Amino acid sequence: MSARVLVVDDIEQNRRLLNDKLRNEYFHVIMAVDGEDAIDKALAEEPDVILMDVMMPKLNGIDACRKLKNDPRTEHIPIVLVTALHEREDRLRGLGAGADDFLTKPVNDLHLLSRVRALTKYKMVADELRKREASGKRMGAVDLAGSGRASDPARILVIDENERQAKRICRYLEGLHQPISHVEANQLGISGSMVDVMIVSLSNEKLDGLRLCAYFRSLESTRDLPILVVAEPDDEKKAVRALDLGASDIVIKPIDSEELLARVKTQVRKKRYLDALRARLDQSMELAVTDQLTGLHNRRYMRVQLESLMKRSNMGGDPVSVLLCDIDHFKKVNDIHGHAAGDDVLREFGRRLRENIRPTDLACRYGGEEFVVIMPDTNQELAQAAGERLRQIIGADPFPINRGDDLKVTMSGGVSTIIAPDDTIDALMKRADDALYRAKSGGRNRIDVETADAF
Ligand code: GH3
Ligand code: MG
Ligand code: MG
């Protein structure tokens, strides 16, 4: 899937220029005409990266950046400010407002694409973690300030063969952080996996900066470690190559101490954001999204997944269908054979669903003896066919209960498909439920689809 880039500029010509460059590389481009518009679009369209002009009417780029970074709904979206050349003040203010990077006008193609790619990669990781977490519990702001971790000094490894420059960089960072040069680190046995940020000079002869970037990216323990590369002003190619190899950011010589500190701060914040998401996930994940009896996803997880599928589908993406299944006369199983037998049936029912859907489909226990299969990229006809197949698989072989007996089980099902552009989960489930009701009243052991007038 290609990344979605929001381009914000009040001048149409600038927007069109960036739009053309990005579209040539198959990015999906969304546009906004000022800071306020940018915030609206960021909320509505959930872009993967924002490219924002600084000088704009209504709300300027820096204020818009600050707002976006202070909103838990948008704080994870990387923002690149686009400034006129040498506007050092703007850059520092922008970094202070939480911007992730800068591009100077006129925008250089290589710079543009490699930075957008680098930030997209970060965003994908953050998205994945956020998605998994959101399925575990309601999404809130990642509370870094509260834990005090955001402002903790960072351990920074400086890899620069030029000893004078290594010392200078360390000096810039001391006070706020805990820098260590690679010479000292070697003596103490400190490795890349033990630090928060790495600063690598691209001018090194022996410790080739590009190789180091590639190497640290390939190691499990340092895969997500922010790497800041220090580049010569006339070696842009190398800097861009470093970004492609996984470096997180570039500082161009001569090093401006304030800019260095601001860039380190951005990297530390990003890393801690991901770390905090991961830690919270580890604590609470699996249990919260799984139904204990059947091992299928639970209703909450289903809703979260459906929400993002719904959004994409409503915006013109692939159709998504759901199948709501309900075991026929299940109460009788409990009444006649006991509750344990009922549980056996539910477990077996869950197993058959799980094993007979496509890998991209999602089987969930909706509650009681009701199950839902979410089918991405599936129109109504295909979903009905899938439902029919599942119905036959359920009814074909009897279910083993109470360690020995067999029981014939059937199911009824209702199918509905997202109707873009403004369908909702509740409406979708209601239509599936209506169809299920018809299947029940029509004699059970059958699949019905929503009717056209259900809307
Ligand atoms: P219909 O064909 O109309 O769907 O009839 P039904 O009997 O299947 O539907 P009804 O909703 O009346 O009954 C569902 C029963 O499922 C009632 C409830 O006690 C039982 N049930 C819900 N959850 C569980 C569970 O976790 N284990 C067991 N054993 N039974 C459950
Ligand atoms: Mg029921
Ligand atoms: Mg039932």
| Residues having CB within 6 Å of any atom of ligand 1 | 293, 326-331, 334, 339, 342-343, 346, 368-369, 440, 444
Helix intervals (H) in 160-298: 163-173, 182-188, 209-218, 236-244, 257-289
- Name the most confidently modeled range: 103-117, 134-148, 224-238: 224-238
Considering every ligand atom, which ligand is closest to the CA of 346? 1
Which tokens belong to 116? 């957008």
> Which residues contact residue 447 at a Cβ distance below 8 angstroms, ignoring those fewer than 6 apart?
323, 384, 387, 388, 391, 412, 413, 414, 415, 439
pLDDT at 86: 66
What spacing in Å lies between the alpha carbon of 329 and ligand 3's midpoint?
Answer: 5
Pairwise CA distance, residues 207 & 31, whole Å: 42
Which tokens belong to 90? 């703007």
Ligand 1 pocket test: pick from 369, 433, 445 the residue with the most ligand atoms within 8 Å of its Cβ.
Answer: 369
Pairwise CA distance, residues 436 & 340, whole Å: 26
Query: What is the atom index within ligand 1 of the atom nearest the CA of 327?
Result: 8
Q: What is the pLDDT of residues 415-437, one digit of tens each?
A: 999 999 999 999 999 999 999 99
Query: What is the atom index within ligand 1 of the atom nearest the CA of 330?
Result: 8
- pLDDT greater than 90 at residue 141: no
Domains of the chain: 1-137 (3.40.50.2300), 141-283 (3.40.50.2300), 299-454 (3.30.70.270)
- Name the most confidently modeled range: 13-22, 94-103, 116-125, 284-293: 13-22
Pairwise CA distance, residues 274 & 278, whole Å: 6
Considering every ligand atom, which ligand is closest to the CA of 444? 1
* CA–centroid distance for 43 within its chain: 15
Amino acid at 345: V
**Residue identifier of the C-alpha nearest atom 17 of ligand 1:** 331
Q: What is the pLDDT of residues 309-333, one digit of tens each?
A: 999 999 988 999 999 999 999 999 9
Residue with tokens 């809130």: 140
For residue 99, the cross-strand partners are: none
Which residues are known to be catalytic? 369
Q: What angle do CA 157, 270, 50 make, to 5 degrees?
A: 130
Ligand 1 pocket test: pick from 327, 330, 334, 335 the residue with the most ligand atoms within 8 Å of its Cβ.
Answer: 330
Within a 10 A sphere around the Cβ of 215, how many other Cβ atoms?
Answer: 14
What spacing in Å lies between the alpha carbon of 331 and ligand 1's midpoint?
Answer: 5
Band (279; pLDDT cuts 50, 70, 90): confident
**Residue identifier of the C-alpha nearest atom 18 of ligand 1:** 331
Which tokens belong to 292? 């204990």
Which tokens belong to 356? 């007979």
DSSP 3-state of 366? strand
pTM of the model: 0.53
Within a 10 A sphere around the Cβ of 397, how many other Cβ atoms?
Answer: 12
| 123 vs 29 pLDDT, higher one | 29
pLDDT at 415: 98
